[in-house]
Structure 1
Amino acid sequence: MIVVTAAGGQTGTAIVRALRERGEQVRAVVSRPRPRPELDALGAEVVVAELTQPQPWSDVLAGADAFYLIWPNFDPDEDEGATALFGEARRAGVPRVVYHSVLRPQARTMPHHAAKDRAEQALDTSGLAWRVLQPCAYAQNLDEQVAEAVRTGRLRSTWGLRTGQSLVDLADVAQAAAVLLTEDGLDGGTFEAVGPEALTAPRIAELIGERLGREVVAEDVVPRGDGVGGRDMAYAGRCRRLMFDHYRAHGFVGSPRVLTALLGRPPRSYADHLADVALAA
């Protein structure tokens, strides 16, 4: 039995799917008691538990062979909450823990990266057998901008026009996570999950245009301010703004060789992803 948190989100659902395709039994942890037809259809055992409430975790982790911890994006409680759950996993005797981190967690100008860096440090000293997956930005993250580009002929880029991103397909990330959760000989390793090429916004626009048979132009769009609202919303807004500032100045690229080794094949290209996206105007 493998426990996966944040299983109702796009990353968690993809990992549950990859595990079920391998024939693994999965306990899918969600934060709210509402219908989860996508997880039911995959044959997962769906349980409700709050990541920041440790009391029920002895039951959630009971009998687990492995635990995949995904923390919700841009959450200010990640480092402390993840550390607490590593403790729960140790007390439950979980044989293997995999933490879903991020490429370049040491880039501490981005608060959500810094939180993952601190969580990785806590995992290293937790007494657990552990692995860490460090994905870059997903190809799927741009799907809304792609749909808008199909309608308008303009791709809005919040990271400028000069720097690149090594966008990775979420399906490849999920397959890599399944490898880390089920295969031996990987303990104590941090594994980057990076797409095969560094893509600038103009190059992405060119690829969309090739699919459409007409020109698409990349447009530089500076994100708005830090955000308003409660504590969590303000933190998330600040994280996004600092993230795009970092991308604009430095890009967000890495090497695909680690992911290639995990998958036993080259990772999917962004063109491969676009081939799966409906581009009807």
Structure 2
Amino acid sequence: MIVVTAAGGPTGTAVVRALRARGERVRAVVRSPRPGLEALGAEVAVADLTGDVSGALAGADALYLVWPNVDPAEEAGAPAVLRAAARAGVRRLVYHSVLRPQARVMPHHAAKDRVEEALDGVVAGTGARWRVLQPCAYADNLDAAVAEAGRTGELRSPWGLERAQSFVDLRDVAETAAVLLTEDGLDSGTFEAAGPEELTAPDVARIAGAHLGRPVTAVDAAPPADDGSYARRCLRTMFGEYRAHGFTGSPRVLTALLGRPPRTFADHLTSDGARSSL
């Protein structure tokens, strides 16, 4: 049995789908019931990750820990869940981190970096072993912007127009997570998941325009306004970091784990998932 947390979100659902495609038994942990996960053939368990998770972990062989996005509870909560899993006899712990977590100017990166720091202590004295997946920004995050560009001819970019990102298709991330959860020889490994291209916003606009069959221009857009919340602070510092330095990585690790090249942004746009949002 493989447990996947935050399974109602895009990442968790994609990982559940990838594991079920391999014929794995999956327990999908959510905060509230999600019928769609049962339709995938997963067992659904309702649990609060900051509370008692023992029932959700019972009888599990592996855990894929996805923490809810930009949640200030991650730094303390994620090690607690991993520790509970190790003590419950879960032998394979896989943590969903982020590319370049050591860029601590971004609070949500700093939280993930500290969770990674805690991993050796989490498994000490148990039979558990850990693995970490560090994805780049998802190509899927641009689906709404591309759909809007289809209507307006403008692709709005809160990360500016000059720096590049290595957008990765969520399906590739999920398939790689399934590899880390099911295959041997990967313990104590930290694995980057970056897409195969370094794309600026004008590059994305060009590819989107070719897909949409109309000219698309990248437009510099202001990041979200600061409303004092942790989530908004994460977003503002993230887009500031992307404007200054971009967010790119090498696709070599992802290629090796998938056994094929990662999907390009054009590949992503021609997928059924992306088409459904256009």
Q: Is the 8 A contact 1:212 1:279 kept in 2?
A: no
Equivalent residue of 2:3, what SS?
A: strand
**How big is the shift at 1:91?**
1.3
Rounded to whole Å, the distance in 2 between the matches of 1:40 and 1:246 is: 39
Rounded to whole Å, the distance in 1 between the matches of 2:245 and 2:225 is: 20
TM-score of the aligned structures, taking structure 2 as reference length: 0.95
Give CA deviations for 1:7-34 in whole Å, capped at 9, x if unaligned.
Answer: 00000000000000000000000012x3
Rounded to whole Å, the distance in 2 between the matches of 1:224 and 1:186 is: 39
Determine if the alignment matches structure 1 residue 157 to structure 2 residue 157.
Answer: yes
Residue in 2 that maps onto 1:105: 101
**How big is the shift at 1:124?**
2.5
Residue in 2 that maps onto 1:48: 46
Residue in 1 that maps onto 2:225: 225
**How big is the shift at 1:280?**
9.2
Residue in 2 that maps onto 1:28: 28
TM-score of the aligned structures, taking structure 1 as reference length: 0.94
1:151 to 1:120, Cα distance in 2 relative to 1, 3 A: same
Residue in 1 that maps onto 2:178: 178
Q: Is the 8 A contact 1:150 1:280 kept in 2?
A: no
Residue in 2 that maps onto 1:89: 85
AA aligned to 1:278 is R
**How big is the shift at 1:214?**
2.1
What CA RMSD, in Å, does the superposition of the two structures yield over aligned residues? 1.2
Residue in 2 that maps onto 1:13: 13
* Farther-moved stretch of structure 1 (245-254 vs 83-92): 83-92
1:280 to 1:159, Cα distance in 2 relative to 1, 3 A: closer
Equivalent residue of 2:275, what SS?
A: coil
1:60 to 1:224, Cα distance in 2 relative to 1, 3 A: closer
Rounded to whole Å, the distance in 2 between the matches of 1:27 and 1:67 is: 9
AA aligned to 1:166 is S
Equivalent residue of 2:16, what SS?
A: helix
Determine if the alignment matches structure 1 residue 122 to structure 2 residue 118.
Answer: yes
Residue in 1 that maps onto 2:237: 242
Q: Alignment partner for residue 278 of structure 1, among 264, 275, 278? A: 275
Rounded to whole Å, the distance in 1 between the matches of 2:153 and 2:90 is: 51
AA aligned to 1:247 is Y
Determine if the alignment matches structure 1 residue 3 to structure 2 residue 3.
Answer: yes
Residue in 1 that maps onto 2:75: 79
**How big is the shift at 1:212?**
2.4
AA aligned to 2:57 is L
AA aligned to 2:36 is E
Residue in 2 that maps onto 1:231: none
Rounded to whole Å, the distance in 1 between the matches of 2:120 and 2:195 is: 26
**How big is the shift at 1:274?**
0.9
Residue in 2 that maps onto 1:210: 210
Give CA deviations for 1:123-171 in whole Å, capped at 9, x if unaligned.
Answer: 1221230000000100000111001000000000000000001000000
Identity of aligned residues (%): 68
Q: Is the 8 A contact 1:136 1:168 kept in 2?
A: yes
Equivalent residue of 1:272, what SS?
A: helix
**How big is the shift at 1:279?**
8.2
AA aligned to 2:187 is D
Equivalenced residue count is 272
Rounded to whole Å, the distance in 1 between the matches of 2:277 and 2:84 is: 48
